Chains A and B, each alone.
Chain A
Amino acid sequence: MRSPPSYQDFTANFDWNVAERELGYRPGSPINVAWMCSDRICQLGLANKFALLWEDYQGNEKRFTYDDVRILSNTIAQFLCMQGIQPGERVCLFLDRVPELYIGFLAILKIGAVAQPLFSAFGDESLLVRLADAGTSAILTQKKHLYKVRKIRNRLPKLRHIIVVDADPTSLQEREISFAMEQAPRVEEFSTYPTTAESPSVLHYTSGTTGQPKGAQHVHYSIIAQYLTAKWVLDLQPDDIYWCNADPGWVTGTSYGIIGPWSNGITQVVLDSGFNAERWYEFIEKYRVTVWYSAPTAIRLLMKEGVEIARKHDLSSLRHLASVGEPLNPEAVLWSEDVFGKPFHDTFWQTETGCIVITNFPGMPIKPGSMGKPFPGITATVLDPKSYAPVNRAGAAGLIALRPGWPSQVRGYWNNEAGFRAKFKNGWYLCGDRASIDADGYFWFMGRDDDVINTGGHLVGPFEVESALLGCPAVAESAAVAKPDPINMEVVKAYVTLKGGFQPSDDLELEIMNSIRKRLSPLAMPQEIEFVDSLPKTRSGKIVRRILRCREFNEPLGDLSTIMED
């Protein structure tokens, strides 16, 4: 059996140009993520290798070779060109995990446009905020999500094309057009737009403490980091069958659910279904999955279903397991060793980093509960929260910070230069998380450094939830904070004061919860609403979420000198 290299082997004489060489990229020449992930793989002699084995919850299957992916992405690309979509324009993917999502992503990049994937469970308000901010020109969606687009399209004058991948053309309205990828005439040859290293590629929206979500702008050069981290951290080998649980509406689903595996010429499997332990284990067994990139929330849900259900299946194909989204608790690592015979390797990164930056490598001893060590080429440290100088004491807490300059680093926030600049202090990029580093150089996650709520590995901005709460007729004021949760690490909790004439009740709580779920998303729905007479505020009237959060986590309230007393 092959032994993975050691951490020292990975880091010795590291230079990102190892990935440039392997991808055949020469600095200064054109580079296009989609071409690298499809046409290049075919040119390497892998045209007939499966790129995507897809299955839905009903068991319907589809299989696509790399040549299929090349041709079908050409086909969509040509269709988008015929609609007049220009390089640099934003094209949204608002789809379930159907093949059109994965292949359409490449098609958008092939024409030099910017892919804007959005989670299909978003409600119309979440969708509106993100499409309006990006000035999106076109959206690819499904019949089942069309009603949400129809609700908001009159408030989106720049949205020229609503492309429906599974619609009956006779049922469509103004600006809507039907396009069935597999029924359209196949386009064998398409001239990929010659994007360069700094050409915009993907726009992922991420939540912050203040204001609406920010569009993190990535570039085509990001593939250098995504290719290499997928190869080294996920340990992808030519014969692997790879499964990434993440939805491409989030950055994991594009960096490691499309670009990472396909730039490595790997066969990946996709299960377009919700969570079901039995079904997931059947899927691993059926496709003989070898590398599995999952998330702590999913692992904890599997733990909750018990080990017996896992033991009914032959899961011996699994060779390497990794996890992302939130800290992986030691119990989950130990459970994984018991059930799968191998541990999940925690990886740390975020939308803005574009690639894994701190990680447990395949050949590295795992300290359960640790984030691992920095990826080669990444300079990571923890900073003192006041001086922003590195804390050089083992075990001392600080802000996780990265030295800028790695290939997939976010290049800016869309329409938000000030917000982007605020992420840098003393020449370091601040991740917004706190950690410590032990004497062996392992990082240990401690929590967020701001009010953003990390629920099930996804960030929810309190401002967006509070704005939506204020849209409920009964709500006068609101504060959304994190509440600890055994499965999702954190969930959203809302503190609410009511307008005159409204009384707290279970019915009202449920009504507000369902309203937020439908308008924003299930992730953003408060799992608990506490009705209060007043909210803690500063003397200038600003709501202080910190106090409410501390209450939820049983932490000391700290300095209260600026808080107004009732």
Chain B
Amino acid sequence: MDEITKVVRDYIIREYVQEGDDREISETTPLLSSGLVDSFSMVSLLRFLEKKYAIHIPDADATPEAFDTVQRIVALVRRFHRAGVGSV
């Protein structure tokens, strides 16, 4: 697992997985469609990514589909990071 995937996954586990919830979070675990993260909570996740990687993800790209797995989130971060200052 690369660094960015680990950071995103760890953040989701720390901030969104409840204490009593013993589900495994892999790179392909559904986040929004499973209800683990909802469209309101997505905003704080977006804010974290933008701050951590110094990027701006436009509203049009911050869709529930694009945030539905760690894998997709990482792809989104890489896309906007490349458009900015370099590769992550």
Contact = CB atoms under 8 A, between A and B. Distances in A.
B47 to A, nearest CB: 6
Q: Chain A: interface residue count, which band?
A: 35 or more
Given A273-B33, A273-B34, A144 B44 contact: no
Nearest to A505: B51
A147 B47 contact: no
Contacts of B20: 143-147
Interface stretch (A61-69, A276-284, A384-392, A429-437): A276-284
A507 interface: yes
Nearest to A151: B19
B48 interface: yes
Contact of B18 (A144, A514, A523): A144
B51 A506 contact: yes
A522 B47 contact: no
A509 interface: yes
Given A276-B64, A522-B38, A57 B47 contact: no
Contacts of A487: 39
A456 B44 contact: no
A277 B40 contact: no
B36 interface: yes
A301 B34 contact: no
B65 A278 contact: yes
Given A145-B20, A305-B65, A274 B44 contact: no
Contacts of A346: none
Given A276-B32, A456-B40, A509 B47 contact: yes
Contact of A510 (B34, B40, B51): B51
A513 interface: yes
Contacts of B83: none
Interface in A141-184: 143-148
B43 interface: yes
Interface in A497-523: 506-507, 509-510, 513-514, 517, 522-523
B44 A514 contact: yes
Contacts of A506: 47, 51
Interface in B25-47: 30, 32-41, 43-44, 47
Interface string A251-277: 000000000000000000000111111
Contacts of B39: 275, 297, 301, 456, 487-488
A278 B64 CA distance: 11
A71 to B, nearest CB: 29
B15 interface: yes
A523 B64 contact: no
Contacts of B51: 506-507, 510
Interface of B: 15, 18-21, 30, 32-41, 43-44, 47-48, 51, 59-60, 63-65, 68
